[in-house]
Chains A and B, each alone.
Chain A
Amino acid sequence: MRIGVLALQGAISEHLASLQRAGADEAVPVKRKDDLQGLDGLILPGGESTTIGKLMNQYDLLDPIREMAQAGVPMFGTCAGLILLANRIDGQDWVHLGVMDIFANRNSFGRQRESFETDITISGLEGKAFRAVFIRAPHIIETGKDVEVLAVVNERIVAARQGHLLATAFHPELTGDIRLHQYFLDLVKNAQ
């Protein structure tokens, strides 16, 4: 099982480390189109969505990644990654990959001063509560009919799944808890 982490900007090493701990055979950074070859799954990390989106565009990564998602390759977007996956973004008439049927709102919890961490319950994860770190985080305003809501904080949707696509508004890579990475690896196994 070979999992890529989009490595243009943001929290890349944390995802690579979490993937390894969660039992991925191989976890590799993806900077170029060629790096997408042979991937069984892809993580779109947190960072600045505007920056990552622009770099994806400049390096012709949008189309190949969109095609991979449409062909059923599992993807997991965290924070900025959620924005990249969304097919509708509040306040703008354009999207990035636009493969997931969610309506996203950027920076919806406020500025850095309002960023927070809290314990949440995630549907499908067993055991103790999940410590979720929200940093200038987005949320999902609305989900399409094939999307399952996995977690809600302050009446805002912060985690969702649509078949092989997984998105969280928070950063599972910043805590030692690897259950969401394991959950994603299970999606990858099921897709194979």
Chain B
Amino acid sequence: MEVGTSRVKRGMAEMQKGGVIMDVINAEQAKIAEEAGAVAVMALERVPADIRAAGGVARMADPTIIEEVMSAVSIPVMAKARIGHFVEAKVLESLGVDYIDESEVLTPADDKFHINKKEFTVPFVNGARDLGEALRRIAEGASMIRTKGEPGTGNVVEAVKHQRTMQAQIRKVQMMSEDELVFEAKSLGAPLDLLLEVRKLGKLPVVNFAAGGIATPADAALMMYLGSDGVFVGSGIFKSENPAKTARAIVQATTHYQDYKLIAELSKNLGTPMKGIELSTLAENERMAERGW
């Protein structure tokens, strides 16, 4: 019996496809998420919008919160470690979380390197803005990729940009000959063997979710339409007026992302969504998506 193989780790993400992963900060929210049909929850001390508001250094959550969430639900539980913080990740693995997000939402612990994820039994998800970044993370052992978007803003524009960029780069790679790919590997900063695999598959070799700024059922459906395998919703649910209803609506819109009549129904009377932030008002040093190398 072999644990932690690439197939077992990537396979776990395959089982999440078409689903919604929700940020929660306690057992009560975790139960609401599970009841709404989330495929997994991300256990946090604060949702990204509050991390943004609080400022200072954001770190791994208190293990008490993670354990509380793990015992409250039967769906998988994910948790975030700081970029490059090998020990936070080992701590999360020892708690038994099902997936670790090496996340730019937290303050990076290493300004050059990410965690060597191949040394873990538990799989990792990483954020990426483009194909090169995604393939660098996969080379380090990431079993799942998500767009970075701009977390905690309730503004989907960055997630759209990242997913469109990645899909366009994949299409370009598919048209290239092997010698052209050598140069493309250089300009993307991506390993050539992974680029060859992308050319063959016509997609990333791992599951590719959308994250960062998704706040409404229509946002979730848009990200699915752009080729995402599923969505992460952070602040969008528990910063809305009616979390249970918003959560249910986003789950259904993700499954039936091309059924616009249904999405219209789902969008009715959801109450006030999270207020959100217009990106141009964010200073360069307030942008989380810039974190990661």
Interfacial residues, chain A to chain B (CB-CB below 8 A): 7-14, 31, 46-48, 50-51, 54-55, 58, 79-80, 106-107, 111-118, 133-136, 171, 174-175
Question: Top 8 A-B pairs ranked by shortest CB distance?
Answer: A112-B98, A9-B18, A48-B39, A118-B1, A54-B37, A116-B1, A11-B14, A51-B37
List B contacts of A80 (CB < 8 A). Answer: 15
Q: Determine which of B76, B97, B255 lies in contact with A136 in the assembled complex, contact meaning CB atoms within 8 Å.
A: B76
The contact sample of 27 A-B pairs, CB cut-off 8 A, is A9-B39, A46-B15, A47-B19, A47-B39, A48-B19, A48-B40, A50-B37, A50-B74, A51-B19, A51-B38, A54-B251, A55-B251, A55-B255, A58-B252, A80-B15, A111-B97, A111-B98, A112-B99, A113-B4, A115-B3, A115-B8, A116-B5, A116-B8, A118-B1, A118-B2, A136-B12, A174-B7
Total chain B interface residues with beta-carbon distance under 8 A: 35
List B contacts of A113 (CB < 8 A). Answer: 3-4, 93, 96, 98, 121-122
Q: Determine which of A10, A117, A174 lies in contact with B2 in the assembled complex, contact meaning CB atoms within 8 Å.
A: A117
Tell me the minimal C-beta distance from A153 to chain B in angstroms. 8
* B17 near A133: Cβ-Cβ < 8 Å: no
Interfacial residues, chain B to chain A (CB-CB below 8 A): 1-5, 7-8, 11-12, 14-19, 34, 37-40, 74-76, 93, 96-99, 121-123, 251-252, 255-256
Per the bound structure, the CA–CA distance linking A8 and B2 in Å amounts to: 30
Per the bound structure, the CA–CA distance linking A187 and B96 in Å amounts to: 40
Per the bound structure, the CA–CA distance linking A50 and B97 in Å amounts to: 19
* A12 near B255: Cβ-Cβ < 8 Å: no
List B contacts of A134 (CB < 8 A). Answer: 8
Per the bound structure, the CA–CA distance linking A51 and B74 in Å amounts to: 11
* B14 near A50: Cβ-Cβ < 8 Å: no
What total count of A-B pairs have CB within 8 Å?
A: 112
List B contacts of A106 (CB < 8 A). Answer: 74
Per the bound structure, the CA–CA distance linking A119 and B11 in Å amounts to: 17
Per the bound structure, the CA–CA distance linking A106 and B11 in Å amounts to: 18
List B contacts of A133 (CB < 8 A). Answer: 7-8, 11
* B251 near A47: Cβ-Cβ < 8 Å: no
Chain B residue at smallest Cβ distance from A114: B3
* A9 near B17: Cβ-Cβ < 8 Å: yes
Per the bound structure, the CA–CA distance linking A171 and B1 in Å amounts to: 15
Known: A113-B3, A113-B93, A117-B7; 18 extra A-B contacts, CB below 8 A, are: A9-B39, A13-B17, A31-B255, A48-B15, A48-B19, A50-B34, A50-B74, A51-B75, A54-B251, A79-B15, A106-B74, A111-B97, A115-B12, A118-B2, A133-B11, A135-B12, A136-B98, A171-B11
* B75 near A112: Cβ-Cβ < 8 Å: no
Tell me the minimal C-beta distance from B121 to chain A in angstroms. 5
* A31 near B256: Cβ-Cβ < 8 Å: yes
List A contacts of B251 (CB < 8 A). Answer: 51, 54-55
List A contacts of B122 (CB < 8 A). Answer: 112-113
List A contacts of B5 (CB < 8 A). Answer: 116-117
Chain B residue at smallest Cβ distance from A153: B1
Per the bound structure, the CA–CA distance linking A54 and B20 in Å amounts to: 13
Q: Determine which of B2, B17, B34, B255 lies in contact with A11 in the assembled complex, contact meaning CB atoms within 8 Å.
A: B17
Per the bound structure, the CA–CA distance linking A8 and B255 in Å amounts to: 6
Chain B residue at smallest Cβ distance from A91: B74
Per the bound structure, the CA–CA distance linking A152 and B138 in Å amounts to: 34
If A50-B74, A79-B15 touch, whether A55 touches B8 (CB-CB below 8 Å) is: no
